[in-house]
Structure formats: structure tokens, C-alpha cells
Amino acid sequence: MSKKSNLPQPTDAELGILQILWKAGPSTVRFVNEQLNEQQEKEIGYTTTLKLMQIMTEKKLLSRNTDTRTHVYLAEAVQGDTQKALLKKFVDATFQGSATSLVMQALGNHETSQQELDEIKALIEKIEKG
Amino acid sequence: MSKKSNLPQPTDAELGILQILWKAGPSTVRFVNEQLNEQQEKEIGYTTTLKLMQIMTEKKLLSRNTDTRTHVYLAEAVQGDTQKALLKKFVDATFQGSATSLVMQALGNHETSQQELDEIKALIEKIEKG
DNA sequence: TTGCATTTACGAAAAGTTTCGTATATCATT
DNA sequence: AATGATATACGAAACTTTTCGTAAATGCAA
């Protein structure tokens, strides 16, 4: 019996915020906003980030600690689960459900190091062994 | 000197239309609309599909033959190129640019047949050799 | 030819997402 | 206590995407 999280899928902007929280752990709006503005060329206003994080908290993608004046936000959406769900949707829409087509396309742009190829080969072997 | 197509990326709904045209070849709005409604549960109105295809024609994602009253639409966006561009955007947003992470996730989660695994292995070998 | 069904054209509503202005509260410094 | 900097709350504007209503044109069949 696995527990489904059943969270809504994040939008593009929301995913950007999740990436930061997944990487950095619990953070303030100020920090997340700064990270976003480092990653991107386009400047994003502080209240924009705040609003998004408030919406995400409502959707349960995040939770927050409001003990101090400066709230600290935590990602509730699990990275792996979120990626998995987004991947499924993407494979369905773009590759008509064929994960293999996607893998071929992804590897086809041969910018994959030998070490990464080895990892993939190892995984394939593991799958083949059952 | 390769010629870049430089087409805008399709939206979700537009991609659904492209999939049908890629598979079926040149088609009428009526046909595309029927296909969409077979694939999905949600009923899409005829003029909705028409409007989308008109917009896509403006964007050069499609072209059309207007010789007869019932126009026949053709996909101008190339399937492989479109998939590649969408994949890059998706990998960047969801896997922080790591195609390997995506491949691992895709192989890990989806059911992959032995034949498909063989194809992937063959591709990996090809990459390693060349 | 007249009327009905089907098509295209067009605009705009509806829905979803992102952005920010402004008000208000809180904290630190003077 | 007053001032200034920074935080949250909230609503609504601005954009993007999707959907459809309605009008006008075209072809078909009685």
C-alpha cells in the first residue's frame, strides 16, 4: 500500500521554485527570488515570487514555518515523484507514450559522457535481470 | 549549412494536432477534430480545432491547400525537430539539463520490452564507437 | 432555385498563468 | 516614539492559451 501524494502538477514557474527548494532545502522568499534572478536574465519582482509561493502553499506543493516574521518555505512535493509525473505527461504528449522514443532522442543528441552511458547500461542490465 | 526552421514551439493543444497530422498526413479540420475527440474524453468543438489550425498556419507550423472549399492541412513542423526542441526545454526545466537523469527516470518507471532495451543498447554502442 | 448542411473567418469570451501595485504589519535603529 | 527597511496579504492587471458563438460563403440535394 503506497501512499499517493496526489498533489497537483506544478506550472513552469512553480517548477522553477521547486528546483531551488529541492536543491537548497528550506528557504525564504528572498533567497528563492534571488536564486531565480541569478538563473534567469529576466528580472522577477519580489512580490511575484512571494505570491507564487503563497499559491503553492495553498496547493500543498510547499509548506511554511510562520513562527518568525520571515517565513521559511519547504518543498512538500517530492522531486522524484514530481519528475515522474511530469515525465509521463510529457512522454504521452510528445512521444505518444513511447518512453523508448524519448530515450533514443535524448541519447541521440550524443552529449553523453562515457560514465553516464555506463550508468545507463548498468540500469538496463539491472532491468534485464528482472 | 543546415537550414534552421526556426518555428515557434507548439502549445499543448497544438502539439496534439501535430501528432495527428504527423501520423495521418495531410488532413481536413473535420478529420483532425474527429481524431482528437476519439483520443480524449473531453469533447472539443469543431470551430475550436479550426481556430487552432488557422493560428498554427499563421505561425507556419502548418500549411494548407485552399484549392477546394474544404482546406487540407499539412504539418510543416518536422516531428523529430519538434520533439528535440521540446525535449531540451523539458530536460532543462525538469531535470536541470541532465538528459541522463531523464533517461534513468524514463527507463526506471516505464515498462520497457527486451526488444526496446536492445535498441537502446545498440544506440549506446553506436555512440561509444563513434 | 431554394433550402439545408458544412465550411471558413473572425472576434471575443473563458480559463489558466504570471506579474506586480498597494496596503499593512513587523522589526531594527536612532 | 519616530523613521526607514523589509515582510506578508491581497486583489487585480497583464499575458497566454483554449474555447466557442455567430456570420458569411460554398456546395449539395430536393
**Residues of A whose CB is below 8 A from B80:** 105
B23: closest chain A residue by CA:
A96
**Residues of B whose CB is below 8 A from A103:** 103, 106-107, 120
Residue A110 has pLDDT above 80, yes or no: no
Using alpha carbons, select from A60, A71, A67 the residue that is nearest to residue A14: A60
Chain segment A5-53, per-residue pLDDT in tens:
789 999 999 999 999 999 999 999 999 999 999 998 899 999 999 999 9
- Quote the pLDDT of residue A130: 76
Give the gap in angstroms from C-alpha A87 to the nearest C-alpha of chain B.
7
Using alpha carbons, select from A97, A104, A98 the residue that is nearest to residue B122: A104
B120: closest chain A residue by CA:
A104
Distance CA A12, CA B81 (A): 22
Q: Domains of chain B: which residue ranges?
A: 12-75, 79-129
B115: which strand partners?
none
Give the gap in angstroms from C-alpha A52 to the nearest C-alpha of chain B.
17
Using alpha carbons, select from A75, A104, A99 the residue that is nearest to residue A87: A99
Q: Helix (H, G, I), strand (E, B), or coil: what is residue B10?
A: coil
- Quote the pLDDT of residue A56: 98
Q: Which nucleotides of C are covered by protein (CB under 7 A)?
A: 6-12, 16-22, 26-27
Residue A4 has pLDDT above 80, yes or no: no
Stronger pLDDT, B109 or A71, i.e. the higher one:
A71
What distance, in Å, lies between the first and last C-alpha atoms of chain B?
Answer: 22
CATH match for B12-75 among 3.90.245.10, 3.30.9.60, 1.10.10.10, 3.40.50.970: 1.10.10.10
Report, as an integer, the average pLDDT of B23-38: 98
Q: Do B15 and A80 touch (CB under 8 A)?
A: no
Chain segment B54-104, per-residue pLDDT in tens:
999 999 999 999 999 999 999 999 999 999 999 999 999 999 999 999 999
Closest in A88, A103, A117 to B127, CB measured = A117
A9: closest chain B residue by CA:
B94
Q: Do B87 and A102 touch (CB under 8 A)?
A: yes
Q: Which nucleotides of D are covered by protein (CB under 7 A)?
A: 6-12, 16-22, 26-27
Q: Hey, which residues 9-28 in chain B have their CB within 8 Å of chain A?
A: 12, 15-16, 19
Q: Output the distance from A9 CA to D1 C1' rounded to whole Å.
A: 49
Confidence grade of residue A129 (pLDDT, cut at 50, 70, 90)? confident
B72: which strand partners?
B65
Distance CA B35, CA B33 (A): 5
Confidence grade of residue B4 (pLDDT, cut at 50, 70, 90)? low
Half-sphere CA count of B48, side-chain side, radius 13 A: 12
Give the whole-number percent of chain A exceeding pLDDT 70. Answer: 97
- Quote the pLDDT of residue A2: 63
Q: In the A/B pair of chains, how many CB contacts fall below 8 A?
A: 107
- Quote the pLDDT of residue B111: 78
Integer angstrom CA distances of residue A84 from A108, B12, B62: 21, 19, 32
Closest in B12, B15, B123 to A107, CB measured = B123
Chain segment A47-102, per-residue pLDDT in tens:
999 999 999 999 999 999 999 999 999 999 999 999 999 999 999 999 999 999 99
Confidence grade of residue B109 (pLDDT, cut at 50, 70, 90)? low
